[in-house]
Amino acid sequence: MAALELKTQGNEALAAGHYSQAPSRSTGRTMRVLYSNRAMAHIKAESYGLAISDAEAAIRIDPTYIKAYYRRGSANFALGKYRLALRDFKAVCKLRPSDRDARTKLKECEKAVKQLAFASAIESSDDQCVSATVDPSQMVVEDAYDGPRLGDDGVMTDEFVEGMLERFRDQRLVHKKYVLQILLGAKALLQAEGSLVDLKIPETDADGDADKAHYTVCGDVHGQFYDLLHIFEINGLPSAANPYVFNGDFVDRGSFSVEVVTSLFALKLRHPGGVHLNRGNHETKNMTKIYGFEGEVRHKYDATVLALFHECFCFLPLAACIESKVFVTHGGLSSDDGVVLDDVRAIDRDREPPDAGLMCDLLWSDPQANEGRSPSKRGVGLSFGPDVTRSFLAKNDLRLVIRSHEVRDSGYELEHGGDLITVFSAPNYCDAMGNKGAFVHLHRDLDPKFTTFDAVPHPPVRPMAYASSPFGL
């Protein structure tokens, strides 16, 4: 009866969307159904590493338990480990040949594996860069187009930026020619930057006040364009006197990712010193294929635009350092104790991230309350404790780490005794989490000041509307 009660409590927590509660309510019995239920809760919470671990525990108890293969396969697919997911759905289809859903997922895995092999073959060729073959000046903009226009030189103007933001607000796109110009210009700017960008707080703010000069650090935006506009309404548009660091995960989940990242790139072109863009784990091919951005770009533009976005993503810096004292990166710290800032500067970032190593850690790792390091709940990167943060700060003569990568109910959280801050700027994430968004101000004294905000209404387009995966991730 106790096991049945735990199962019921776990299922109730899942049904209510309380994913963090479901695992604890499903523990206490080494039974296949409880491990499988807990794996499902971990998948909903995006803790794919823990989901895989629990699914494997269920499989050890009963190698014929189909749900456990489902869970492990779904978690591996979410991590872009398509061959491992393929193995699991082959097992399901063998155990239950008539399962139509399993057949659908098996075909999706086979498709993903083939696409991965094809992409690897293409990338090994010498003519892989779409940017070398695209010439927007040869494109004709139809007379019927009534949106903002750029000259053939691609020089960004305030007039274009303002017109583009308003056009996006009205759910209208800018012409493909101008998107290509923005992407080509953004790639050139990003390519000229380092893997670690050193930043200085401006002498004065936009009103000429030296005491109010600051940097704004935003966390994940995740395609929530109308919330990005709200940030600008609260905090002003970026400029050299009002500089921002956007700390990765501009795309995926939210269904206005094209509008978000195109706007950020255009603002980067208009104010190169006022917009700094760190790479997140979602600015990668594996993630965008699963979580909506790829489908959104193909729907709103085409494969050429998608390929050029990915070229830009590969040149996004991996970290920024403000006043040589505040280290800003999307995920977290390294699995190695000896990492110094020059190691970050030395990373060759023009690639898809590897599954391990410093580049992977910067994009994927998370803090933990306990000392030391542990395997990541996500299945990629690691979890690192307060001692790791203290050591990194001391070794590099830093005061603070700011990272993003995780939802926080208040939009931010001080962790590791105040040595580390998590900031997340997508309120009511996925229209479901009920969290606030936040951003951080760093004035000259480098003491962080927080602004929180609620989600604003957006057009009735659901999150993940352009994701084609049958996995429901």
Which domains does the chain possess?
1-122 (1.25.40.10), 131-453 (3.60.21.10)
3-state SS, the chain, equals CHHHHHHHHHHHHHHCCCCCHHHHHCCCCCCHHHHHHHHHHHHHCCCHHHHHHHHHHHHHHCCCCHHHHHHHHHHHHHCCCHHHHHHHHHHHHHHCCCCHHHHHHHHHHHHHHHHHHHHHHHHCCCCCCHHHCCCHHHCCCCCCCCCCCCCCCCCCCHHHHHHHHHHHHCCCCCCHHHHHHHHHHHHHHHHHCCCEEEECCCCCCCCCCHHHCEEEEECECCCCHHHHHHHHHHHCCCECCECEEECCCCCCCCCCHHHHHHHHHHHHHHCCCCEEECCCCCCCHHHHHHHCHHHHHHHHCCHHHHHHHHHHHCCCCCEEEECCCEEEECCCCCCCCCCCHHHHHCCCCCCCCCCCCHHHHHHHCEECCCCCEEECCCCCCEEECHHHHHHHHHHCCCCEEEECCCCCCCCEEEEHHHCEEEEECCCCHHHCCCCCEEEEEEECCCCEEEEEECCCCCCCCCCCCCCCCCCCC
pLDDT tens-digit readout, 111-153: 888 887 776 666 655 456 899 999 999 999 999 999 999 999 9
% residues pLDDT > 70 (the chain): 91
pLDDT tens, residue order, the chain (473 aa): 444 554 555 555 545 555 445 444 444 345 889 999 999 999 888 899 999 999 999 999 999 999 999 999 999 998 889 999 999 999 999 999 999 999 999 998 998 888 877 766 666 554 568 999 999 999 999 999 999 999 999 999 999 999 999 999 999 999 999 999 999 999 999 999 999 999 999 999 999 999 999 999 999 999 999 999 999 999 999 999 999 999 999 999 999 999 999 999 999 999 999 999 999 999 999 999 999 999 999 999 999 999 999 999 999 999 999 999 999 999 999 999 999 999 999 999 999 999 999 999 999 999 999 999 999 999 999 999 999 999 999 999 999 999 999 999 999 999 999 999 999 999 999 999 999 999 999 999 999 999 999 999 999 999 999 997 677 66
d(CA 369, CA 291): 29
Name the pTM for this structure.
Answer: 0.89
305: Cα separation from own chain's centroid:
19
Q: Is residue 58 within 8 Å of 35, Cβ to Cβ? A: yes
Give the pLDDT confidence score for residue 124 in this predicted structure. Answer: 53
Specify the pairing of strand 196-199 against strand 319-322: parallel
How many residues does this entry show for the chain?
473
Q: Which residues carry out catalysis?
A: 282
Distance CA 301, CA 258 (A): 9
Cβ pair 431, 439 in contact under 8 A: no
- Rounded CA-CA distance 381/359 in Å is 9
Q: If DSSP states are collapsed to H, E and C, what string results for 331-374?
A: CCCCCCCCCCHHHHHCCCCCCCCCCCCHHHHHHHCEECCCCCEE
Predicted confidence at residue 45, as pLDDT, reads 83
Q: Edge-to-edge strand order for the sheet containing 373-375?
A: 366-367, 382-384, 373-375
pLDDT value for 468: 72
Contact 359, 318 (CB under 8 A): yes
